[in-house]
Structure 1
Amino acid sequence: MSVEQLGQALTVAAAGRVGSEAIQDIATAYIDFVRQHPGLYEASFHAPNRDEPQLAAASTVALQLLLDSLQPYRLSEAAALHAVRGLRSLCHGFASIGAQGGFAMNFEPSESLHFTISSFLDGLKQRSKDS
């Protein structure tokens, strides 16, 4: 199942860590998965049908991995879910633009990804300080 394969790739990338390093590696693994398995990614992209327990469980693994990785940011439950959506959107957009050849400038795409995710995480750090 494509959702399980994506979840496995993200789990391996995080390797039991949390925080910024884990999130950076998860984002890289997400982009790599899309690049290596575009058809599988497309099949896993939609929201899971809760009437399919195996699909719902596989989707929950990836969600929980991201929530666990975000724990050091001390976000409320709602804020953490918003952050997961934001991170997923960043990764999806980055992967989609890359797949269409949109990163033709003389900048290394992996450096741009790292910069973007770092900026996102800096925003989460600031948000947790303001809470």
Structure 2
Amino acid sequence: MEYKIGSIVEGKITGIQAYGAFVALDTHTQGLIHISECHHGFISDIHRYLKVNQTVKAMIIDIDEYTRKISLSIRCIKEPPVNITDEHIRCEHKHYWTNYKVNEGFKPIELRLNGWINDGLHDIENELKKK
């Protein structure tokens, strides 16, 4: 299945950590609901809102293009409590830009490696001369 940011998906919670819950979207795809995306307002214990094997609906709020990690939010598809004003309601999320098409990789290291090796050999020679 092709997943897209903004889509509402259904999945089963497979594990819970202090920072969030892992959700199986299909047999090969898993997402994470960060604790801040479980419920409107402060959450001191994620276990009060989510349980392992619970089926949940959530919105896809980010997909890392390189690692294919999916970030999910239950908060974005639920109505906020009536005592929260509009100025406090946010479902905006940071998008951490990554792109598998950028082939930078280890190139900066490769360009400096010979200099580092020469510096290291020079330091070793100096230490040997001191003895």
Which bracket does the TM-score occupy, shorter chain normalised? under 0.3
Q: Which has the higher helix share?
A: 1
Greater relative CO, 1 or 2 (CA 8 Å, sep 6+): 1
TM-score normalised by structure 2 residue count: 0.27
Q: Which has the higher strand share?
A: 2
TM-score normalised by structure 1 residue count: 0.27
